Homo-oligomer: A and B are copies of this chain.
Amino acid sequence: MSESGSLDLLSSFWINSVLSVAFLICYALFKNQPLNSRVYFPRWYVFGEDERIDEFVNCGESKGSRISQYVNLNWRSYLNGFNWIWFSLRKTEEELIELVGLDSTVFVRIFLFGLKVFVPMLLWGCAVLIPVNKTDGYLKVLQEQHQNLTYGAPESLSIANVEDSAKRLWAHLVASYLFTGWTCLMLYIEYATVERMRYDFLASKKQRPDQFTVLVRQVPRDENQSVGMRIQEFFQQTHLEHYVTHQVVYKAKELTKLIKEKEKYEGKLERWYDQLSREPSTPRPTIKPRKHWYHIFRCFTTKREDAIDYYEREIERLEDEIKKERKKVLSDQKYVMRAGFVSFDCRWAAAVCAQTQQSRDRTKWITEWAPEPRDVYWNNLAIRYMLLNSRRLVVTALVVVLVIFFLIPVGAVQVLANLEQLIKYMPFLEPLSRWKYVESFISGFLPGAILKIFLLIIPYVLRELTKFEGHVSKSKIEKYTGVKYFVFLVVNVFFGNVLIGSLFDQLRQYIAAPTSIPRAFGVSIPKKATFFMTFIMIDGWTSIAAEVLRLWPLIWYHITSVLFVRTDKERVKVIPATPPAYFIVLPRLSLYILLGLVYAVISPLILPFLCVFFAFGFLIYRNQVINVYEPEYESAASFWPSFHRNVIVALILKHVTLIGLFSVKRAFASTPFLLPLPIVTYLFHLFCSEKFYHAFVNYPLQEARLKDKNELGVDVKSFLETAYLHPSIKLAPVDSDSDDDPDTIKNGTAPNGNQSGPDEPSTVKNATSNESSYKGLRDSSHHSTNPHASGPYVHRGGSGSSGSRRRWSKQISAVGSPDFYDAGSSISSPVLSRENSMDTFRNASVASSHDPSQRGGHVEATDLRQVHVSSQEPAPLNHQSSFETTAVPPTTSEDKSAETHSTEGKRDRREQGSIDRLPSLGALDQAPLGHSEP
């Protein structure tokens, strides 16, 4: 307790307030520049609704000039630079759900939940606790006894100022009950609301493959039958009336690698085309081809070649290889995992299958509700199921070690990273040591920076570990990463700052004498109140403001777009629509709630800081989910139960701390009064789990049946057929003479069992669809389908069959016809279900037309393969799907036209489907809440 404590607090308050406001002002300025709109409004590009950004940017009238493409010259727009707050607040919750999905909506609600919990506590604290604390004078008495003791305002408002074993402590006891009761009430209401929202959301969604599909794993081995046949036979037997189709899971790692390589080459090719088309006078580029990195030594022997020719050749070679690999994967049993996606003709049957035990042995035929196709984490599906347990064991052990010993390697690196050590290894730095300032800066800054880097990396390390555990969907990976990260935060940020000595020693001590835990908490936790107030301001306020400013993505975007980025395709890759990092934000939010609950009774002064944090966060994240984040999947708020559990953990920690504190205060008589609290809290948790948890795991039969009833008579088979095919297989072009009938794709073996590919002609309707889906995709996005749109630059060479897909063109010229939207939406391949849902979001009213003859006009000009693409649209159903109603009337964007943004947006949409994405450095840098660890 020191006077400096309150001074620190005050200065910290000012610094952080000023910083936050500054960030906000910067944001208001920056976001108005069209130049930055890719940084601040990436989500609108994803939907291809970038023209609507103007609503936010207000640079409307001065649009004509060239400068206005980069800088906003409309001075009026700067006046209402904070109108984004109203924009985002204006939306009702229903609108928000339609616009951004349930995950994001519930995520934003958590901030509101924080406010609901802590504002009444704040009022009670001001009205009762602070007066009770302030009017006592225990600290003064202590100061008289120990002369060297000083204390500040925060301490005198806290429980520390209350005399030991005083009657006043009853106020705190009562407050403890009130706060716990209030929190539980809020938790209950919130859980119930989220459950209701989830069910309503699920009920409002139109046909989607995951509603009809179940993931089955551990298909028993059988020498005589392929996995696919076994699945079919088994489910035709046990779910006779409802089984429709199935899809085995392929191990397609090699294929994915080849496709990625091909995409890389295509990117390069496109870049050169782009350059050439802009400046036709440029000499054609040449390169020295090398296949492996070690061929670099041969650079003198090999001749320079024409780059475009070379890459076109390479692409052609890769295409052949991909075709072969694809054929191999599809026809060889050893590429088929013992798992599959089984689809049923109604949601009821899928719900039944997901919830029941199929066979005698529970470790065989394990079924679970299938994740969305875009949510599937394909790599993990290829893991053998029996390995999962050992993997989980290993990861758990690793995480425990990481959590407990985290500070040891950090400390070691910090020790190594002083200037002397640096000079030892890098003698050229020696001159630096002559300047005192540099030395002190390094010794003062470096350790903090190292800790910060470690802390920034931790959630990503945890995510990699969780991936290794083998969860089959991205949402699950994020969920379980979040659990681990919360444990890490509680142990290393909360306890790491509260307890003295190494965590491991502490732990050993506590295991040896668990009854000493409350007392240890009671002694050390109250001392750290001021520290955590500062923490909330730095880590909460400032980094939330930084989150809205997106400083790192902003810098990164401009650097790269000036230095490296040539084509628009590349520009999209630099700042892809950022998926919200729930696995980072939710644990951190839980940590704040933990701080609030633990200190609410002990030191109510922390509450205003928290309330400001939650209010601020609510505004900013509402804006972010609307403009910035584009989720990779929609899990319908399935993260809620784990957030709920975090709050329960926080409550119980609070109780333990209070029990310890009261026993330190020698108010022993109160312990029996406090003991019921943790027990009741735990029972409350059990009750909530019993009542609500299953809603986040199961699909109740009544709901399923109702939904089935409301959508009778749809042909589900066609749109389920390839919904769960491995994306690489869908992307890969098909060998024209290969046996690629639906049965082969479904089962991983040709019906007649020959693995070398039969000679029979491919008459099956799907035969060529897969081949052209990828090509078609690319072609159509470049509008070679539209004769008048073919660009000025026609490439040299290009042998016969693959000629059509090489007519690269600049796209801007191609936009303007309503055909654009139509074609774009219908061509989006079945693979890219993520993209699909975006398409359908926009084109909710586009008529489903999967018959080429119906498509008429704009198809005529395209080559035959193109027609196939259109005709092989996965399903008419998909077009009506995903978002029943959309915030944007489907035709608006078709009326507006011929704008650069719009074109870019369209392309973005297409690029999202690519399985290759730039390793998201951006995502790493702009992790929400900013990671400014203490």
User: Which residues does A use to contact B, with CB under 8 Å?
Assistant: 195, 199, 234, 237-241, 348, 351-352, 355-363, 365, 389, 393, 511-515, 683, 687, 690-695, 698-703, 705
Contact A358 B701 (CB under 8 A): yes
A233 to B502, CA, bound (A): 63
- Given the known A-B contacts A514-B511, A691-B363, are A357 and B358 also in contact in the complex, defined by CB atoms under 8 Å? no
Closest-by-CB residue of B relative to A709 is B237
Interface of A is mostly: helix
Cβ contacts A to B, 24 pairs, < 8 Å: A195-B360, A234-B702, A241-B241, A352-B352, A352-B356, A355-B356, A355-B357, A356-B698, A356-B701, A357-B699, A358-B701, A359-B700, A359-B703, A360-B700, A360-B702, A360-B703, A362-B691, A362-B692, A362-B693, A362-B694, A363-B691, A365-B702, A511-B514, A511-B515
Q: In the bound complex, how far is the Cα of B359 from the Cα of A692, in angstroms?
A: 11
Nearest opposing residue in chain B for A516, CB measure:
B512
Q: Specify which chain B residues have a CB less than 8 angstroms from the CB of A515 in the assembled complex.
A: 511-512
List the number of copies, as a whole number: 2
**With the chains together, A702 CA to B234 CA distance in Å?**
8
Query: A357-B701, A360-B702, A511-B514 are known contacts; what are 6 more A-B pairs with Cβ within 8 Å?
Result: A241-B241, A356-B701, A357-B694, A362-B690, A362-B693, A511-B515
* Residues of B with C-beta under 8 A to A699: 357
- Give bound CA distance, A683 to B511, whole Å: 22
Alpha-carbon distance A356/B356, docked complex (angstroms): 7
Residue among B195, B358, B362, B693 making CB contact with A695, cutoff 8 Å:
B362
Q: How distant is the Cα of A239 from the Cα of B238 in the complex, in angstroms? A: 16
A198 closest partner in B (C-beta) = B360
Chain B residues with CB under 8 Å of A694's CB are 357, 362
Residues B512 and A238 in contact, CB atoms below 8 Å apart: no
Q: Which residues of B contact A199 (CB under 8 A)?
A: 360
Complex Cα–Cα for A756 and B358 (A): 48
Residues of B within 8 A of A702 (CB): 234, 237-238, 358-360, 365
Chain B residues with CB below 8 A from A511, complex form: 514-515
Asked if A361 and B691 sit within 8 Å, CB to CB, the answer is yes
Known contacts A357-B355, A357-B698; is A705 also within 8 Å of B362 by CB? no
Q: B residues within 8 A CB of A698?
A: 356-357
Q: Are B705 and A360 in contact (CB under 8 A)?
A: no
Q: Which of A361, A690, A703 has the most CB of B within 10 A?
A: A361
A389 to chain B, nearest CB (A): 8
The contact of A238 among B356, B361, B513, B705, by CB within 8 Å, is: B705
Contact assessment for A695 and B360 in the assembled complex, using a CB-CB cutoff below 8 Å: yes
Of all chain B residues, the one with the shortest Cβ separation from A349 is B352
Residue on B nearest A352 in the bound complex, by CB: B352
Would you call A351 and B362 a contact (CB within 8 A)? no
Task: Specify which chain B residues have a CB less than 8 angstroms from the CB of A389 in the assembled complex.
Answer: 687
Among A358, A690, A701, find the residue whose CB has the most chain B CB atoms closer than 10 A: A701
**Cα-based distance from A562 to B692 in the complex (angstroms):** 63
Q: In the assembly, what is the distance between CA of A234 and CA of B514, in Å?
A: 51
Bound: A234/B700 CA distance, A: 13
Of all chain B residues, the one with the shortest Cβ separation from A234 is B702
In the bound complex, CA of A238 to CA of B348 (Å): 8
Chain B: minimal CB distance from A711 (Å): 16
Asked whether B513 lies within 8 Å of A701 as measured between CB atoms, the reply is: no
Q: Check if B691 sits within 8 Å of A237, measured CB to CB.
A: no
Output the least CB separation between A224 and chain B (Å).
19
Q: How far is the CB of A198 from chain B (nearest CB, A)?
A: 10
- Chain B residues near A362 (CB-CB < 8 A): 690-695
Q: How far is the CB of A228 from chain B (nearest CB, A)?
A: 18
